[in-house]
């Protein structure tokens, strides 16, 4: 009978997980801290899988246990379970070899599927890695963004070409920077090239370089972006706008890892290529506007960035992040989003995606003189409720998160931030409401006023 080690400092949650795992027909071992978990794993009893809490008291937290565990050749598969998921800890956990990274609470069916996968015969070999340098944060706890974060963590150390696709303003460059910052090439340069911003006649020289005297004005040798990115990452932004003549040359460079400077000799290069586009490349291929062989060469590791309208659970955490940044730059006292402003942000369709949200929040931070941003302070143009297709898009957990976020925000707005009364209206316990407010980043969107006048009974 396989044994599953459950590591969590919360006794109630630890026992609940243990009961479910035992009901699934597996033996259970328990640990209340990181040190206790390492002692179990170093002991004589075999551990076949680990369910690991991320935040635990003491010096040895979940990530420290994972690092120590992944350094062993015989390490069992590990899944991180946390109520405090972030882009950084999701990417780092997946990069260090975690089987998965899930947000608490985890339902019985999801737990059964997870344990079944972890105990399957085929396991990925362990791979120890040093912690990455801190890079730009990819804010978001929605299921869609967590898939993106996991994909970054799984592919960061690879040299495989990555194709990032998403609408304008969704943060494609942030993904490219995260791939570089969390990968083994982080010590090398990251060289971005916007293929749409450079005239077609100059793009070849920009990418491949040129020799002195190769053309009028070439007064000296130029290495080009491929060679400038040696040992690092070359980010080809808006590659869907690349002229047809250049597509064939880029294809050869990707296939052979050799570039030929204008007027020069072929040179071998060692740079990882990450490409991005807001265009529908399969449609361009079908229309004959983009080479099919180049598309397949680029699309080795595809990462699809969802539009903000499909990430309702991420809007308020992003807005609060941008507000903190703006206040810090302006040297202003702390500001917060009022409940009305939060509701308006959730109702807006965001055609400009994250970039539009950042601009709206920064504009309000500059123009508002009070400590709170209210609904009328946001210059968003006419609001429109999300279309039905947006509510039903994606998977079931994503749709549930969007609905929960909207309902909780409305209840908090209607009760003036009175969380106990909001929990009563929603028909849930107050402790569960607190957990969901934390999970969906709604803490800064409520007034925080006292909950007086409400009975102690939260049921």
415 or 64, higher pLDDT = 64
Longest CA pairwise span in the chain (Å): 84
Q: Which among 72, 39, 37 has a CA at the least distance from the CA of 54? A: 37
Q: Which of 110-124, 164-178, 270-284, 416-430 has the lowest mean pLDDT?
A: 110-124
Q: Does residue 229 fall inside a structural domain?
A: yes
Query: Taking the CA of residue 155 as centre, how many other CA atoms within 13 Å lie in the half-sphere pointing to its CB?
Result: 24
Mean pLDDT of 391-397: 62
pLDDT of residue 230: 95
User: Residue 172 sits in a domain of what CATH number?
Assistant: 3.40.50.300
Q: Residues of 377-407 as b/e, b for ≥16 C-beta within 10 angstroms?
A: bbebeeeeebeeebbebbeeebbebbebbbe
Task: For CA atoms 10, 12, 16, 22, give the dihedral sign.
Answer: positive
Q: Does residue 450 surpass a pLDDT of 90?
A: no
Q: Does residue 451 fall inside a structural domain?
A: no
Task: Give the C-alpha distances (Å, rounded to integers) separating 211 from 193, 195, 406.
Answer: 20, 21, 59
Among residues 304, 335, 370, the one where a domain terminates is 304
Among residues 257, 287, 304, the one where a domain terminates is 304
Q: Does residue 354 fall inside a structural domain?
A: yes
Q: Does residue 262 fall inside a structural domain?
A: yes
Helices and strands (DSSP H and E) totals, the chain: 19, 14
pLDDT of residue 394: 59
Six-digit token pair at 433?
């409401």
pLDDT of residue 384: 45
H helix or E strand, kind and range, residue 191: strand 190-194
Full DSSP string of 23-77: HTT-EEEEESSHHHHHHHHHSSS---EEEEES--SSS--HHHHHHHHHTSTTPPP
Mean pLDDT of 4-23: 91
Q: Does residue 269 fall inside a structural domain?
A: yes
Whole-angstrom distance, CA of residue 160 vs CA of residue 58: 38
Query: 330 and 291 share a domain?
Result: no
Q: Which among 406, 456, 398 has a CA at the least distance from the CA of 431? A: 456
Instruction: Grade residue 183 by pLDDT with cuts at 50, 70 and 90.
Output: very high
Mean pLDDT of 65-90: 86
Query: 19 and 44 share a domain?
Result: yes
Q: Kindly list the strands in the beta sheet with 3-7, ordered across the sheet, starting from the edge strand earlier in the chain.
A: 27-31, 3-7, 49-53, 78-82, 100-103
Q: Is 0.75 surpassed by the pTM of this model?
A: no
Query: 207 and 102 share a domain?
Result: no
Whole-angstrom distance, CA of residue 384 vs CA of residue 387: 8
Query: 256 and 375 share a domain?
Result: no
Q: Does residue 411 fall inside a structural domain?
A: yes
Q: Kindly list the strands in the beta sheet with 190-194, ordered across the sheet, starting from the edge strand earlier in the chain.
A: 190-194, 233-237, 272-277, 162-165, 301-304
pLDDT of residue 457: 37
Mean pLDDT of 364-373: 86
Q: Is the peptide bond before 105 cis (omega within 30 degrees of 0)?
A: yes
Among residues 118, 144, 174, the one where a domain terminates is 118
Query: 177 and 270 share a domain?
Result: yes
Q: Does residue 167 surpass a pLDDT of 90?
A: yes
Whole-angstrom distance, CA of residue 146 vs CA of residue 170: 14
H helix or E strand, kind and range, residue 109: helix 108-118
Mean pLDDT of 314-333: 88
- Structural domain range at position 188: 158-304
Q: Does residue 136 fall inside a structural domain?
A: no
Query: 180 and 273 share a domain?
Result: yes
User: Residue 105 sits in a domain of what CATH number?
Assistant: 3.40.50.2300
- Count of the separate structural domains present in the chain: 3
pLDDT of residue 443: 65
Query: 16 and 92 share a domain?
Result: yes
Query: 94 and 227 share a domain?
Result: no
pLDDT of residue 177: 95
Query: 263 and 343 share a domain?
Result: no
Whole-angstrom distance, CA of residue 152 vs CA of residue 171: 13
pLDDT of residue 257: 93
Query: 300 and 322 share a domain?
Result: no
User: Residue 348 sits in a domain of what CATH number?
Assistant: 1.10.8.60
Q: At a CB cut-off of 8 Å and minimum separation 6, what does 357 contact?
A: 308, 315, 318, 319, 322, 345, 350
Query: 318 and 300 share a domain?
Result: no
Whole-angstrom distance, CA of residue 201 vs CA of residue 385: 45
Q: Does residue 11 fall inside a structural domain?
A: yes
CB atoms within 10 A of CB 323: 22
Whole-angstrom distance, CA of residue 76 vs CA of residue 49: 5
pLDDT of residue 249: 92
Sequence length of the chain is 459
Query: 324 and 246 share a domain?
Result: no
275 or 205, higher pLDDT = 275
Summarised one tens digit per residue, pLDDT across range 260-297 is 888 888 999 999 999 999 999 999 999 999 999 999 99
């Amino acid at each position: 009978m396989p044994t599953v080690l459950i590591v969590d400092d919360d006794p109630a949650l630890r026992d609940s997980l243990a009961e479910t795992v035992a009901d699934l027909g597996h033996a259970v071992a328990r640990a209340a801290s990181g040190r206790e978990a390492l002692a179990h794993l170093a002991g004589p009893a075999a551990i076949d899988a680990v369910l690991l809490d991320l935040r635990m008291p003491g010096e040895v937290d979940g990530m420290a246990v994972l690092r120590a565990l992944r350094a062993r050749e015989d390490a069992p598969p590990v899944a991180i379970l946390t109520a405090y998921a972030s882009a950084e800890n999701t990417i780092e956990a997946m990069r260090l070899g975690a089987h998965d990274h899930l947000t608490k609470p985890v339902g019985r069916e999801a737990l059964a599927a997870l344990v079944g996968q972890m105990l399957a015969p085929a396991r990925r070999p362990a791979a120890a890695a040093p912690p990455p340098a801190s890079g730009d944060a990819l804010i978001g706890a929605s299921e869609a963004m967590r898939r993106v974060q996991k994909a970054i963590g799984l592919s960061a150390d690879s040299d495989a070409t990555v194709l990032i696709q998403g609408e304008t303003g969704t943060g494609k460059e942030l993904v490219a920077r995260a791939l570089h910052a969390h990968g083994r090439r982080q010590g090398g340069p990251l060289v971005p090239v916007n293929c749409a911003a450079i005239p077609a006649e100059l793009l070849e020289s920009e990418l491949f370089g040129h020799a002195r005297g190769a053309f009028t004005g070439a007064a000296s040798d130029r290495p080009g972006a491929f060679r400038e990115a040696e040992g690092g990452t070359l980010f080809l932004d808006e590659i869907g706008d690349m002229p047809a003549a250049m597509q064939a040359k880029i294809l050869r460079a990707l296939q052979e890892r050799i570039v030929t400077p204008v007027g020069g000799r072929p040179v071998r290069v060692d740079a990882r290529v990450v490409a991005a586009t807001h265009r529908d490349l399969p449609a361009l291929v079908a229309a004959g506007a983009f080479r099919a062989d180049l598309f397949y060469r680029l699309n080795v590791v595809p990462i699809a960035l969802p539009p903000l309208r499909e990430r309702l659970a991420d809007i308020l955490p992003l807005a609060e992040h941008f507000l903190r940044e703006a206040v810090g730059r302006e040297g202003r006292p702390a500001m917060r989003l009022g409940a009305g402003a939060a509701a308006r942000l959730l109702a807006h369709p965001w055609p400009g995606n994250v970039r539009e949200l950042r601009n709206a929040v920064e504009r309000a931070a500059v123009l508002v003189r009070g400590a709170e941003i209210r609904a009328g302070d946001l210059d968003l143009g006419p609001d429109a409720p999300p279309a039905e297709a947006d509510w039903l898009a994606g998977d079931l957990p994503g749709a549930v998160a969007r609905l929960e976020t909207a309902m909780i925000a409305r209840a908090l707005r209607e009760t003036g931030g009175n969380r106990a009364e909001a929990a009563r209206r929603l028909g849930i316990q107050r402790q569960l409401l607190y957990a969901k407010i934390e999970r969906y980043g709604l803490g800064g969107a409520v007034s925080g006023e006292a909950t007086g006048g409400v009975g102690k009974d939260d049921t």
